[in-house]
Copies of this chain bind each other. A is one copy, B any other.
């Protein structure tokens, strides 16, 4: 079934591993099922299984392997530092049939640009955002704050002590990110 011996060996290793600790992975999946969209942090998982946090992370990754092998249509994902079960993309057509997918609520280009700048450059003031975009951005910023995607996190030391903005945990949820480290790298800007 496996195309390369390497993959075959890996699968065997894994299934050996699973035979030994499968009960824990199944229990972990059950707990994630119960935790729902609240998710579980590494710390919570570590607490339940009496392991350290890196081991908890590894359990989630192993669970993901198990779910993939067994063809599960919901997978463990890391979102804003919590692990939770989310439907797999393959399920989307079925979800649509049952109208279980909420209608998309997309952000305007202005809001998305402003959000991208905040995400990569936080903490940042409104006027710094406007310098980069070359246009007034108060409206876009207002939308983002109202939607809970950006927030005032401090005040700058510059004259007038303007607000510094940053992204929220809901931002990570909205884009399916585990943390800010998961943002794709910004295109190289020091070319030439």
Instruction: List chain A positions with a Cβ less than 8 A from chain B.
Output: 22-23, 26-27, 29-31, 33-38, 40-41, 43-44, 47-48, 70-74, 82, 85, 87-88, 90-91, 94-95, 97-105, 108-110, 113, 127, 130, 134-136, 138-139, 141-143, 146-148, 151, 160, 168-170, 173-174
Contact = CB atoms under 8 A, between A and B. Distances in A.
29 contacts: A27-B73, A29-B72, A30-B73, A30-B91, A31-B98, A31-B100, A33-B73, A33-B74, A33-B87, A34-B87, A36-B146, A37-B142, A38-B146, A43-B104, A47-B97, A47-B100, A47-B101, A48-B97, A48-B98, A48-B101, A82-B104, A99-B160, A102-B127, A105-B135, A109-B151, A113-B148, A135-B174, A136-B174, A139-B173
A27 B89 CA distance: 11
Copies of this polypeptide in the complex: 2
Contact of A134 (B88, B90, B136, B147): B147
Contacts of A143: 37-38
A155 B170 CA distance: 28
A151 to B, nearest CB: 7
Contact of A71 (B22, B147, B160): B22
A64 to B, nearest CB: 15
Contacts of A108: 148, 168-170
Contacts of A73: 26-27, 29-31, 33
A57 B169 CA distance: 37
Contacts of A47: 97-98, 100-101
A98 B44 contact: yes
